[in-house]
Structure formats: structure tokens, C-alpha cells
Amino acid sequence: MSSFESDPNLLLRCRRGDSAGWSLLVERYRRLVWSVIVKHRMRTEEAEDIFQHVFTTLITNIDGIHDENALASWLVTTTKRRCWRVSSQTRQSAERARSLDSDPDKSMDPVDSREDSIESRAQLEKQLVREGLERLGGKCKDLLEALFGAGGEPNYALIAEKIGIRVGSIGPTRARCLEKLTVVLSRMGFADAPDATPSVGSEPDID
């Protein structure tokens, strides 16, 4: 397992003005924030603006984050609110000539909708998987990212060369790495992960 820097530690570094810590924090959460923006179907220029706005809001309000272990949730909520606001402003601007019967902010705001809640949970679970990979580190992280994070059909020969294992070892290594990942995820509270104890060979229907 790699040494994984916790969110509270990263936040502490940011509070002290450590720009390297800030850089790590942006790296860790860039995909989470972007996934929320993509889900709201923002235009490219708006998306980039929102992305920057969310992270600068974080750094300027960093003393106000009391639950440091809920940073991911904070980022999701902040990003959603910003998306709604920008969408509302865009729509108001486009429809200024017409009078609106309903409050655009209200109609845009799905904060209580079940669908939105489920979507947020899915985004947070994806973030957990990203963090799980970071915690896993080493060859397992490299292999799983090469297999599943590169898009298209994986090229086993290239992956084997890059990771430094035989092509024939990819299958067994993938299984071990996925199992290790699910153990890590279980400890992190990932809903789909089984109990933290590895299960290979000990269960009735698993060889």
C-alpha cells in the first residue's frame, strides 16, 4: 500500500500556505468536481469557470470547513450550487425579454430530489474508488488504471511491458488487485464492497 495523505492533513497544509498541498488536493478532487459539472451539462467555458470557482471558494473558505472528512461532499454541494446559479443566470439572460411564470432558481434547484441524491452518491462512490486506487498504489494501481482507465480495449502486451510483468500474469494479478482494492474500499465505507476480510478460497462457491 502507498502512503496516502489524508484530507485533513492536506487541508492543514493548504491552511499553512503550502502550494504543493493545494496542488495535491486539486489533483485528488478534479474528477469529482468535473463529474458534477458534466452532469449539469454546462458549456465548456462555463464548466471551466465553475471548476475554478469551486476550488478558489474552497481555498478562501478553508477555515470554515469543520468536517474535514466530508470534503468530497462539500465539493459536490458547492459545485452543484454553482452550476445551478450559472444555469439560472444564463437562462435569465436568454429569456430576459420574456416574463417567467416560475422562479428559475426554484425550478432549477433539485436539491431535494431523490434522483439527484442518488447521482451524488454515485459520484462520491466514484471518488472513493479513485482514492482507493491511490491508497493501493504500486503495481496494482498502475495495472488497474492501465486496464480500466485508458479507454478502449487494453493492449496486454503494452501493459505488461509498462508494468513489468508477464502477459500471462495480467489475469491473476488483476484478480488480486481488484480484491485488494475492494478490501481498501470496504475500509473506506464503500457500499458495494464486501467485508474487509479477503474471501479467496474460503467460501463454498469460490475456489
Partner 1 sequence: MTNHTPNSTPNRKVSIEQIADAASGVAGPALMAEVQSAATRDPRVAKLLSSFTSAVVAMKSDLLHEPSAETVMRAKALGARLATRRAESRSPITMLGEVFDRAGAVVLEWLNPDNGIALAGVRDDHGADVFEAVVDTAQITIRAERTIAKDGIVRMVGEVMRGDDMPVKAIIAVLDVDGVVLSTDATDALGMFAINLPIGSCEVVVSARAVDSTVHPTIVLPLGPSAPMRGGAAV
Binders in 133-152 for partner 1, by CB under 8 A: 133, 144-145, 147-151
x/- map, 1-20, partner 1, by CB under 8 A: -------------xxxxxx-
What does the alpha-carbon distance between residue 75 and residue 6 come to, in Å, rounded to a whole number?
16
Stretch that binds partner 1, among 67-75, 77-85, 97-105, 128-136 (CB under 8 A): 128-136
Nearest one of 75, 89, 79 to 37, comparing CA atoms: 79
Among the listed residues 111, 157, 158, 175, the single contact to partner 1 using CB under 8 A: 175
Stretch that binds partner 1, among 72-80, 110-118, 157-165, 170-178 (CB under 8 A): 170-178
Binders in 74-113 for partner 1, by CB under 8 A: none
Buried b (16+ CB within 10 A) or exposed e, 97-120: eeeeeeebeeebbeeeeeeeeebb
Stretch that binds partner 1, among 31-39, 77-85, 102-110, 159-167 (CB under 8 A): 31-39
Among the listed residues 40, 125, 134, 165, the single contact to partner 1 using CB under 8 A: 125
**Which three cell numbers, joined as nine digits, stand for 205?**
462457491
What does the alpha-carbon distance between residue 47 and residue 45 come to, in Å, rounded to a whole number?
5
User: Which 8-state DSSP code applies to residue 99?
Assistant: P
The answer to whether 32 touches 127, Cβ cutoff 8 Å, is: yes
Among the listed residues 10, 42, 135, 190, the single contact to partner 1 using CB under 8 A: 190
Does 207 contact partner 1 by CB under 8 A? Answer: yes
What does the alpha-carbon distance between residue 175 and residue 186 come to, in Å, rounded to a whole number?
16
What does the alpha-carbon distance between residue 24 and residue 38 come to, in Å, rounded to a whole number?
22
Among the listed residues 1, 100, 111, 200, the single contact to partner 1 using CB under 8 A: 200
Nearest one of 161, 135, 132 to 146, comparing CA atoms: 161
* Helix 19-39 and helix 7-15, axial crossing angle in degrees, nearest 10: 120
Q: Which residues bind partner 1 (CB under 8 A)?
A: 14-19, 21-23, 26-27, 30-35, 38, 45, 47-53, 55-60, 62, 125-126, 129-130, 132-133, 144-145, 147-151, 171-172, 174-176, 178-179, 181-182, 185-186, 190, 192-194, 199-200, 203-207
